[in-house]
């Protein structure tokens, strides 16, 4: 026998990293069950700490507590989809963080421009995140949540290198935890990132680096010298975890509830946080046949927010096994934006255009039977009017 307790009501005896429990997480997703219960003494998880961390990273609401070794519980019973189910409320909020959470799941919109007799393409509209109007609200919020649990952000400066969207979300949210953000923008960042991050109360450093990653050594040095907390979106595993337990799981939930025959997901890569998490999640629940496609800028081209995989991406390199990386030119991405604008009536950003262009190249002539694909659209085209 076992009982179910809220995962937030207990504490683990020790902290385990993502890498300690990655295989277990994969096994849990594949079998859709936890293999064993945990033991709790005085609200502390004393046995099965791995199960605790695997379920916590995956975003289950409940933990199976019991003494039998042979106790296997389905994810359904553990409130696995609680966090990503739409809320029915009055849509009145006291805090931007509540509004952010209530924005999920972000919508899936069928794109007629990319659908045909055998393929339906669905755009996941990440600008429905309310702060940076981009997918990066998820990363910034979750990184700050986890930092705050262990480091307390109140009174501190949280620093990071960013191409813009993450910096905007970090600047706004750091203040909600009683801290401030200092963001490091590369030369390529546009006016929007600079202005909005400042308006949101962030301090902006903008003297170096062609690419965002070039600024990381400076952030590390300044953090050491001045005692900043380095959010470290490029290496902090909470970035990957945020997209695993929210973005990837949301798509699973939405596809299941709408009875889509989901065959693949296309996106683009910057830190690789969201696409590596999506690949890990769907490889585990749907198997190796599931297609995951990541757009990277063609050699010599620049597409805002994304970069080539050989410039180094921790999760894509160390976790993803089944991801097709496809080169897309800036022109192809801009063509995709125009096609969607004219035929579907929405204005997507360039990395979303790149995801669609990569999907089109990969899928080619199409399938024999009706299949569904999701394209992740990280932000809105309204930010890039000068490019269009
Ligand atoms: N698209 C845009 C517009 C972005 O701002 C970013 C990241 O900053 C990405 C795509 C890439 O997302 P990720 O860092 O999860 O790979």
- What residue segments make up the domains of the chain, in order of their start? 2-74, 97-133+238-384, 136-230
Please give the CATH number for the structural domain made up of 97-133+238-384: 3.40.50.1100
Spatial neighbors of 257 by CB under 8 A, at least 6 apart, are none
Nearest residue by C-alpha to atom 6 in ligand 1 = 305
Do the domains 97-133+238-384 and 2-74 match in fold? Answer: no
CA 37 to chain centre: 29
Asked if residue 209 has its Cβ within 6 Å of ligand 1, the reply is no
The architecture that CATH gives domain 136-230 is 3-Layer(aba) Sandwich (3.40)
pTM given for the model: 0.97
What's the CA-to-centroid distance between 272 and ligand 1, angstroms? 8
Asked if 143 contacts 233 with a C-beta cutoff of 8 angstroms, the reply is: yes
Of 93, 168, 165, give the one whose Cα is nearest residue 135.
165
Spatial neighbors of 305 by CB under 8 A, at least 6 apart, are 163, 164, 165, 268, 270, 349, 350, 351, 378, 379
Q: Choose the weakest-confidence range: 7-11, 42-46, 211-215, 294-298.
A: 211-215
Atom of ligand 1 nearest to the CA of 272: 16
Atom of ligand 1 nearest to the CA of 270: 16
Spatial neighbors of 381 by CB under 8 A, at least 6 apart, are 337, 341, 347, 348, 349, 350, 388
pLDDT grade for 366, boundaries at 50, 70 and 90:
low
Q: At what angle do helices 191-199 and 165-176 cross, to 10 degrees?
A: 0
Asked if residue 186 has its Cβ within 6 Å of ligand 1, the reply is no
Nearest residue by C-alpha to atom 12 in ligand 1 = 270
CATH class of the domain whose range is 2-74: alpha beta
Asked if residue 277 has its Cβ within 6 Å of ligand 1, the reply is no
Asked if residue 132 has its Cβ within 6 Å of ligand 1, the reply is no
Asked if residue 134 has its Cβ within 6 Å of ligand 1, the reply is yes
Q: Give the residue, out of 127, 128, 216, 351, with the most ligand 1 atoms within 8 A of its beta carbon, to mutate for a pocket test.
A: 351
Distances 283 to 15, 20, 133 between C-alpha atoms, Å: 26, 19, 28
Does residue 380 register a pLDDT over 90? yes
- In terms of C-beta distances under 8 Å and separation of at least 24 residues, what long-range contacts does 99-107 make, across chains too? 99/130, 100/129, 100/130, 100/131, 100/137, 100/141, 103/128, 103/129, 103/130, 104/246, 104/250, 105/250, 105/253, 105/254, 106/250
**β 108-111/371-377 pair status:** unpaired
Go through the chain and tell me how many residues it has. Answer: 388
The tens digit of pLDDT for each residue in 133-179 reads: 999 999 999 999 999 998 889 999 999 999 999 999 999 999 999 99
Atom of ligand 1 nearest to the CA of 243: 15
Asked if residue 296 has its Cβ within 6 Å of ligand 1, the reply is no
d(CA 101, CA 301): 35
pLDDT grade for 93, boundaries at 50, 70 and 90:
very high
Q: Give the residue, out of 124, 128, 134, with the most ligand 1 atoms within 8 A of its beta carbon, to mutate for a pocket test.
A: 134
Q: Where are the beta strands (DSSP E) in 167-300?
A: 180-184, 203-205, 229-230, 262-268, 291-297
Q: Give the residue, out of 305, 311, 336, with the most ligand 1 atoms within 8 A of its beta carbon, to mutate for a pocket test.
A: 305
Bridge partners, 3 (sequence order): 65
């Amino acid at each position: 026998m076992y009982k179910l307790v809220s995962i937030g009501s207990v504490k683990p005896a020790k902290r385990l990293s993502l890498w300690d429990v990655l295989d277990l997480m994969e096994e849990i997703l594949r079998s859709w069950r936890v293999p064993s219960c945990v033991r709790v003494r005085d609200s502390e998880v004393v046995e099965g700490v791995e199960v605790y961390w695997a379920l916590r990273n995956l975003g289950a609401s409940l933990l199976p507590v019991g003494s039998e070794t042979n106790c296997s519980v389905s994810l359904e019973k553990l409130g696995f989809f609680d966090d990503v189910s739409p809320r029915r409320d009055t849509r009145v909020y006291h805090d931007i963080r509540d509004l952010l959470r209530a924005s999920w799941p972000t919508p899936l919109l069928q794109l007629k421009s990319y659908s045909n007799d055998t393929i339906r393409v669905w755009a996941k509209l990440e600008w429905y995140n309310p702060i940076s109007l981009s997918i990066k609200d998820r990363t910034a919020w979750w990184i700050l949540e986890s930092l705050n649990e262990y480091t307390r952000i109140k009174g501190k400066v949280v620093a990071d290198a960013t191409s813009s969207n993450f910096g905007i979300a970090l600047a706004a949210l750091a203040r909600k935890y009683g801290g401030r953000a200092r963001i490091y923008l590369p030369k390529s960042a546009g006016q929007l990132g600079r202005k909005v991050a400042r308006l949101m109360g962030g301090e902006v450093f903008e003297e170096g680096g062609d690419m965002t990653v070039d600024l990381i050594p400076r952030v590390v040095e300044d953090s050491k010298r001045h005692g900043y907390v380095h959010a470290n979106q490029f290496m902090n595993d909470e970035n990957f975890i945020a997209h695993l337990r929210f973005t990837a799981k949301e798509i699973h939930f939405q596809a299941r509830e709408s009875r889509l025959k989901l065959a693949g997901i296309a996106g683009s890569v910057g830190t690789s946080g969201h696409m590596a998490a999506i690949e890990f999640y769907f490889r585990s629940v749907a198997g190796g046949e599931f297609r995951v496609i990541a757009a990277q800028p063609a050699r010599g081209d620049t597409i805002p927010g994304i970069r080539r995989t050989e410039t180094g991406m921790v999760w894509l390199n160390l976790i993803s096994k089944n991801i097709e990386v496809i080169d897309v030119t800036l022109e192809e991405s801009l063509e995709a934006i125009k096609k969607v604008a004219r035929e579907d009536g929405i204005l997507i950003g360039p990395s979303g255009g790149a995801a669609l262009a990569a999907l089109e190249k990969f899928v080619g002539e199409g399938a024999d039977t009706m299949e569904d694909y999701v394209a992740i659209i990280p932000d809105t085209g309204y930010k890039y009017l000068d490019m269009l």
